[in-house]
Amino acid sequence: MDQVNVTRNETSNATGVEDSEWTQAVMFKLRTAVLLLIVIMAVLGNLLVIVSVMRHRKLRVITNYFVVSLAFADILVAMVVMPFNFSVQFYNEWIFGPVICDLWNSSDVYFTSTSILHLCCISVDRYYAIVKPLKYPIKMTKKMAFVMLAATWLSPITISYAPIFMGWYTTSEYMRTRELNQCEFKVNKPYAVISSSISFWIPCTIMIFTYLAIFKEANRQEKALHARAGNAMLMHRHSREVGDKNGALHINATTPTKDRNILKMKREHKAARTLGIIMGAFILCWLPFFLFYLSTSLCDSCTYPEVVTVIMFWTGYFNSALNPIIYAYFNRDFRNAFKNTLACAFCSFCRRGASDSDALERLDRRGSAQLRVPIPSRRASDLASL
């Protein structure tokens, strides 16, 4: 009886181990598929943004210079930063050595800072376009946009590549005990505060205040627009009644200039709403990470499970794939441009495939025709010599 119980326990333990291994294998495959999907979405989606802006003249406005630059930064995040993190999740260790580890950490900090500085530039651009529209053509010129973009791409070097490769970002103890098969981003407290402030907290504060001002001004303009439309309707009705009594012709109160200004204002409001949603998505994706980053850097006793660290990183990375989806859903101009670009790409692919098949068919016909050509009859002397 005891042997039977022992056998049953061993069988149940073996079954439990097999179930656990099967569950781990399924979770590993699922996690790998999700991470690969994020990388592919980030590359293809942001590439679609860049190509659509280049192909459609309507999208070539100053605001979209920042949008294209942001898309390029997100592509680099997907191609330079995400694969190394993916390799850590796949192999469960670091296999590239300490130099590439520093390069990866530097690129991670650099592109995160670049992304939020792009959004900060976009918020300033929208602020002048809506709150101070008369100053917008003077302030936001192409030259100013290029200066802002240059500052956006160059300034994050001061908190990424320079301090990390010089060893200023971490503690001396970590540098002594650093393992080759591990790539931890162990930072000291001054670097944690300075880097997070420059790359997230200060730009995020600027964006929140600018978008609050934009929101208030947009509401004021909407109310003024509705009031103006109501007054114009009353004036139109009154003038029509007076014209009917006096037998005079009715004159329309609206003008093409007014209609053009109203359409421009509505377009600016829609663009501000879309970019506000993008900013909100960025904050939702990266705020948990920066709270986690500060808490683990400033509090020595604060520890989190490894799965929390992975979720924090990849939630932030997911923001690089999210922006094109927001454009496609909330902005009609981008949505139409995306459809047109994808249709052209698909049609050209179909035409190329059709032309290749036609060429193969022509070759097949030519080969068949050559096979059907009769062999010339030989002379009798040639046949006799055989």
Q: What is the pLDDT of residues 98-144, one digit of tens each?
A: 889 999 999 999 998 898 899 888 888 888 888 888 888 888 888 99
Give 3-state DSSP helix, strand, coil % of the chain, rounded to 5. 85, 0, 15
Q: What is the pLDDT of residues 304-320, one digit of tens each?
A: 777 888 888 888 888 88
* Per-domain boundaries in the chain: 25-242+263-353
pLDDT computed for residue 384 by the predictor: 41
CA 41 – CA 26 distance, rounded (Å): 22
DSSP codes joined into one string, 180-229 = TT-------HHHHHHHHIIIIIHHHHHHHHHHHHHHHHHHHHHHHHHHHH
pLDDT in tens, the chain (386 residues): 555 554 555 555 556 556 677 777 777 788 888 888 989 999 999 999 999 999 888 888 888 899 999 999 999 999 998 888 888 888 888 888 888 999 999 999 999 889 889 988 888 888 888 888 888 888 888 899 999 999 999 999 999 999 999 888 888 888 877 777 788 888 888 999 999 998 889 988 988 888 888 888 877 877 776 666 555 555 555 555 555 555 544 444 445 555 555 666 666 666 667 777 877 888 888 888 888 888 888 887 777 777 888 888 888 888 888 888 888 777 788 888 888 888 887 776 656 555 554 554 554 555 545 545 444 444 444 434 43
pTM beyond 0.85: the answer is no
Q: Locate 324 and state its tokens.
A: 């094109």
pLDDT computed for residue 236 by the predictor: 53
φ/ψ (deg, to 5) at 283? -65, -45
Does residue 66 contact residue 145 with C-beta atoms inside 8 Å?
A: yes
Task: Please identify, in words, the CATH class of the domain defined by 25-242+263-353.
Answer: mainly alpha
Q: Write the burial class of residue 176 (CB in 10 Å: 0-12 exposed, 13-18 middle, 19+ buried).
A: exposed
